[in-house]
Structure 1
Amino acid sequence: MRHHKTKGTPNKSGWFDLPGTLNGPADLGKAQEALQERYRLGSLLGRGGFGSVCSATRLSDGAPVAIKRVPRNRIRHWSELPDGTSAPLEVVLQDKVSTGFPGVVKLLEWLELPSDIVMVLERPEQSQDLLHFIRARGFLREEVARPLFRQVLEAVRHCTSCGVLHRDIKPANILVDLATGQAKLIDFGCGTYLQDTAYTHFAGTPSYSPPEWTRFGWYHGEPATIWSLGILLHEMVCGKMPFRRGWNFSWGQLSLPQRLSPGGSSSLGMGAIPVLGDGSGLGSVPLWQLLRRWHMSCSPPKPRIDGKVQAQL
């Protein structure tokens, strides 16, 4: 993974002065030269509180990539790469989990600019985020949802084995390679290091936050991840969020569509996938039993004497 640090005067006209790029200040010195020599920038893929992402093509071999720009003033945490280089925490986490594993989008290089951090990421040529993949179909049939969800579980297991907590698992942060069916976890901007003690700061999407955060103002990484995985699975097979805005999920249970199979020994079972370790409860739970058990657990967990929370599944 290459790293470029540049100095210079920001350009007032736009980002890198290239057609199809994003608006905002940037350096026109070494950064522009490096990007123009290696990439042809394309269309805007997304914009949000994190910054902006656009498509691009690597000129050396025609490979598609994504270029993510994050304003420096929005980067709160820095850490160290294995070579001792100081880098934004997102870059460090992405570097830890993306090498040699197909289920996480790979970080190819990053550039440090006076006003921005730029990350160059792999991008499957025919790809779509899972949010739009679901919306285009209304909901996912079981035979489509099962392999995709299994891959997400494997990606989560990989990240936790590397000591990384993603904290923002949702359809928009899962990229689907339409040619191969490979699912890739993206966007570690809300991520942090996995720890045994409780977190007292929430980062991620509020509608995916675990009930213990809403009720108590703290959460543990593994149970919170399981909670977001349950919401993700519901969205995949039902085509919508399980909770309406303002609905108190402390009371009652949610209903599931009758078209779902009962699970059990069905061929749709996901097999033994220890996602978050032996205590996660996801060791060998068939896929739809997993969703049904998650539905039946829709009430805030009670803290144990040691202050921890049991996993929801």
Structure 2
Amino acid sequence: MRERRGRWHGQEEVVMVHDTTMRMSFVQLGKGGFGVVYEGRRLDDDLKPDHPNPLPKEIALTILVNKGHRVPEIIRLLDWTDHPDHFVMVLECPSPCENLVEFIRRHGGSVDEETTRQIMWQAAHASHMCCLRRVFHRDVKLENLLINRETSEVKLIDFGCGDILGSSPFKSYHGTAAYSPPEYYSRGEYCGWPATVWSLGIVMFTLLCGHFPSDYDLYLLQYKQWSKPGCQKNAVTSSGFSSM
């Protein structure tokens, strides 16, 4: 049985990870312009894990999102080590693969509706599992989705902009501006689940059209008036990730 929960200790966020062999907590030690550092401890005996140094946030999130049953659409962390001024992550390497920017370019600038549907189902599933495991990726984009050129399997990578997903809205945005949710600019805050769905929508539109949606595209989409020759009328609005 596996269980995850989070709580606050003063100004420190504690994320607990429970499974049948180990119970871990990650406590935020501090953050700077390039990341946040967490310290991990075993809850059973209050000892730190074998690695002597605190966990960088990207590593902590990658470990947390892979707890539980394996999700093939999420990249796995195999090992890691740190150095005085950087850390090294050893990740699984799907081969042969490319990111979706390269994939679109190789297919002439955009892809057909059926291919887009297959890619988006996997991207949405990966993002959905991240949110269920309380990991907010915050940078779901073409560059962070790898696709196997032979099997068309998709993997979500790079949790460097991520955070723990809680009930409170976020006040700052650390992902890629082109994928940022509109409510961040209109209200100065946003929530993780809707922001994830928005970024998936940008990915899907770009796969189909070969460019980011313009303000006019977004206006037409809002009123379900957008269309593209060769696509079903609801190709963009029926995304396949309504469960999110």
Q: Which TM bucket (shorter chain)?
A: 0.7 to 0.9
Check conservation: 2:227, 2:233, Cα contact below 8 A. Answer: no
Q: Which residue of 2 aligns with 1:21?
A: none
Q: How many angstroms apart in 2 are the aligned matches of 1:120 and 1:158?
A: 22
Instruction: Tell me, yes or no, if structure 1 residue 204 matches structure 2 residue 163.
Output: no
- How far off its partner does 1:176 sit? 0.5
- How far off its partner does 1:217 sit? 1.0
- How far off its partner does 1:248 sit? 7.6
TM-score by length of 1: 0.58
Q: How many angstroms apart in 1 are the aligned matches of 2:218 and 2:154?
A: 32
User: Residues 126 and 250 (structure 1 numbering): CA distance in 2 closer, same or farther, change over 3 Å?
Assistant: closer
Selected match of 1:259 from 210, 221, 230: 230
Instruction: Write the mapping of 1:5-154 to structure 2, written as runs, cut at 5 A.
Output: 75-81=34-40, 83=42, 84-85=48-49, 86-98=54-66, 100-137=70-107, 138-154=109-125
- 3-state secondary structure, aligned to 2:71: coil
Greater Rg over alpha carbons, structure: 1
Check conservation: 2:35, 2:160, Cα contact below 8 A. Answer: no
- 3-state secondary structure, aligned to 1:101: coil
Check conservation: 1:176, 1:183, Cα contact below 8 A. Answer: yes
Q: How many angstroms apart in 2 are the aligned matches of 1:97 and 1:162?
A: 6
Q: How many angstroms apart in 1 are the aligned matches of 2:71 and 2:60?
A: 16
- 3-state secondary structure, aligned to 2:147: strand
- 3-state secondary structure, aligned to 1:200: coil
Check conservation: 1:79, 1:88, Cα contact below 8 A. Answer: yes
TM-score by length of 2: 0.73
Check conservation: 1:139, 1:235, Cα contact below 8 A. Answer: yes
Counting matched residue pairs gives: 198
Selected match of 1:290 from 232, 238, 243: 238
- How far off its partner does 1:94 sit? 0.6
User: Residues 198 and 261 (structure 1 numbering): CA distance in 2 closer, same or farther, change over 3 Å?
Assistant: same
C-alpha distance after superposition, 1:197-244 (max 9, x if no partner): 11101110011111111112111111111111111110111111002x
2:63 alignment partner AA: D
Check conservation: 1:148, 1:183, Cα contact below 8 A. Answer: yes
Q: Which residue of 1 aligns with 2:198?
A: 227
C-alpha distance after superposition, 1:67-112 (max 9, x if no partner): xxxxx97543112446444201100111112352211111111111
Q: How many angstroms apart in 2 are the aligned matches of 1:289 and 1:115?
A: 45
- How far off its partner does 1:250 sit? 7.7
Mark the runs of 5 or more structure 1 residues left unpaired by the alignment. Answer: 1-71, 264-286, 292-310
Q: Which residue of 1 aligns with 2:157?
A: 186
Q: Which residue of 2 aligns with 1:241?
A: 212
- 3-state secondary structure, aligned to 1:224: helix
Q: Which has the higher contact order (CA 8 A, sep 6+)?
A: 2
Check conservation: 1:75, 1:88, Cα contact below 8 A. Answer: no
Mark the runs of 5 or more structure 2 residues left unpaired by the alignment. Answer: 1-30, 43-47
